[in-house]
Amino acid sequence: MDKKKILLIGTGGTIASEMGENGLVPELTSDQLLRYIPDISRICQVECVQVFSLDSTNIMPQHWVQIVNALREQYERYDGFVISHGTDTMAYTAAALSYLVQGSPKPIVLTGAQKPIGFETTDSKQNLRDAFAVAASDMAGVMLVFNGKVILGTRARKTRSKSFEAFSSINYPLLGMVQDGRLIPYIRPDSGERPVFYDQINSNVALLKLIPGLDCGAAKWFLEHNDALIMESFGVGGLPAYEAGDYYETVKDGLDAGKIVVMTTQVENEGSDLSVYHVGTAIKRSLPVLEAYDMTTEAVTAKLMWILGQTRDPKQVARMFYDTVANDILAFK
């Protein structure tokens, strides 16, 4: 049997970093990364392309489009794809690619590392090997592979800042594990016959994390300067009713001006439910706010940017927001 042909797409990140005068800086290309794992030739044939070399803190939505363009240009030539990426914003990129490349029958796998590949103690080499094992499998769609875990692109989140077990799957089971170089699949994502690519996004989306006593002026400013506002509230969700400011009227004014408001929760697991408390039902019953339910904030952010790149009509935005893409939202009502 011929070996699968995989494209390694380099974007920078810790995995490709070397120590500079002021800390780690992405320096290595995807070709240079590949030289550290020559044994990968036993798994698949690999070719490389470098789209940019950035610390993932500096990655912006336009860089997601660059990755999409590379995937679209090379899609027919390869059986699967590995994207090496910095860990800090990898979950955002994984979510974004899930919306910008929908229904891919071929695996698109993001991975990275907590330690550079040139360090004596590093997770880089194993993460790359695991990513190639998944990319050469019959899995489909966008996934994140890290520390042996295979995580759906819309459900990934970085939950540890330093340890090798950096990523978790939020409100959704793992797709599988990679052990001793072998993929053990638990769930095989659905796919289409051909992928649908998008390259129009609107990054004019803001996120406001509520803290006790925060004046509604911040929400007002965000709504005035953005097309959409995601509000991370407390617990299952709701808007405060402070004497010093009226969140309800602030959100209503934003909605009346054609802005999109999504309510979500700061709590990592189990999602929002605005119908539980008065602070939530007061807005859910009377204002056309959207609710994130079991979606991650990373997925909500990327989905809004994708949707607003296609339409600004509030009714269409709401319909598309609740349409499930890559199992990003399941527990809604």
Q: Does a structural domain hold residue 327?
A: no
* Separation between Cα atoms, residue 6 and residue 198, nearest integer Å: 22
Q: Does a structural domain hold residue 100?
A: yes
- Token pair, residue 218, equals 């911040």
Q: What are phi and psi of 236, to 5 degrees?
A: -80, -5
- The pLDDT of 103-132, averaged and rounded, is 94
* Same domain membership, residue 278 and residue 247: yes
Domain range enclosing 211: 205-322
* Separation between Cα atoms, residue 138 and residue 206, nearest integer Å: 37
Q: Is the pLDDT of residue 53 over 80?
A: yes
Q: Does a structural domain hold residue 38?
A: yes
* Same domain membership, residue 172 and residue 25: yes
Residue pLDDT, tens place only, 205-264: 999 999 999 999 999 999 999 999 999 999 999 998 876 569 999 999 999 999 999 999
The 10 Å Cβ neighbour count of residue 216 is 21
* Same domain membership, residue 261 and residue 295: yes
Q: Does a structural domain hold residue 240?
A: yes
- Token pair, residue 165, equals 């077990």
Q: Does a structural domain hold residue 53?
A: yes
Predicted local confidence at residue 241, as pLDDT: 85
Average pLDDT, the chain: 94
Q: Does a structural domain hold residue 293?
A: yes
Strand-strand pairing, 80-84 and 5-12:
parallel
- Domain closes at, from 144, 173, 197: 197
Give every CB contact of residue 173 below 8 A, 6+ residues apart in sequence. Answer: 186, 187
* Same domain membership, residue 11 and residue 33: yes
* Same domain membership, residue 298 and residue 250: yes
* Separation between Cα atoms, residue 202 and residue 207, nearest integer Å: 14
Predicted local confidence at residue 331, as pLDDT: 77
Q: Is the pLDDT of residue 320 over 70?
A: yes
Q: Does a structural domain hold residue 330?
A: no
Q: Is the pLDDT of residue 136 over 80?
A: yes
- The pLDDT of 164-168, averaged and rounded, is 96
Residue pLDDT, tens place only, 291-317: 999 999 999 999 999 999 999 999 999
**CA geometry: angle at 153 spanning 147 and 156, to 5°?**
55
Residue at token pair 């925060």: 214
The set of catalytic residues is 14
Confidence of residue 24 (pLDDT cuts 50, 70, 90): confident
Predicted local confidence at residue 62, as pLDDT: 97
Count the domains in the chain.
Answer: 2
Predicted local confidence at residue 245, as pLDDT: 66
Q: 83 or 1, which is more confident?
A: 83
- Among residues 106, 111, 81, the alpha carbon closest in space to that of 7 is found at 81
Three-class SS of residue 14? helix
- Domain closes at, from 197, 215, 250: 197
Instruction: Fill in the amino acid letter for 300.
Output: V
Q: What are phi and psi of 207, to 5 degrees?
A: -125, 130
Residue pLDDT, tens place only, 182-196: 999 999 988 889 999
* Same domain membership, residue 306 and residue 179: no
What CATH number does the domain containing 234 carry?
3.40.50.40
* Same domain membership, residue 152 and residue 272: no
DSSP states of 155-189: GEEE--SSSS--EEE-SS--SEEEETTEEEES---
Q: Where are the alpha helices (DSSP H) in 1-120?
A: 30-35, 61-74, 90-100
* Same domain membership, residue 287 and residue 225: yes
What CATH number does the domain containing 47 carry?
3.40.50.1170
Confidence of residue 1 (pLDDT cuts 50, 70, 90): low
* Same domain membership, residue 45 and residue 174: yes
* Same domain membership, residue 215 and residue 139: no
Predicted local confidence at residue 17, as pLDDT: 83
Q: Facing residues of 183 across strands?
A: 178
* Same domain membership, residue 44 and residue 192: yes
Residue pLDDT, tens place only, 193-209: 999 999 999 999 999 99
DSSP states of 282-308: HHHTTS--EE-TT--HHHHHHHHHHHH
Instruction: Say if residues 290 and 263 touch (Cβ distance below 8 Å).
Output: yes
* Same domain membership, residue 112 and residue 26: yes
Give every CB contact of residue 269 below 8 A, 6+ residues apart in sequence. Answer: 170, 171
- Domain closes at, from 167, 197, 227: 197
* Separation between Cα atoms, residue 119 and residue 117, nearest integer Å: 6
Q: Does a structural domain hold residue 332?
A: no
Question: What percent of the chain shows pLDDT beyond 70?
Answer: 98
- The pLDDT of 25-30, averaged and rounded, is 82
Predicted local confidence at residue 150, as pLDDT: 98
Instruction: Say if residues 114 and 14 touch (Cβ distance below 8 Å).
Output: yes
Q: Is the pLDDT of residue 19 over 80?
A: no
Predicted local confidence at residue 192, as pLDDT: 84
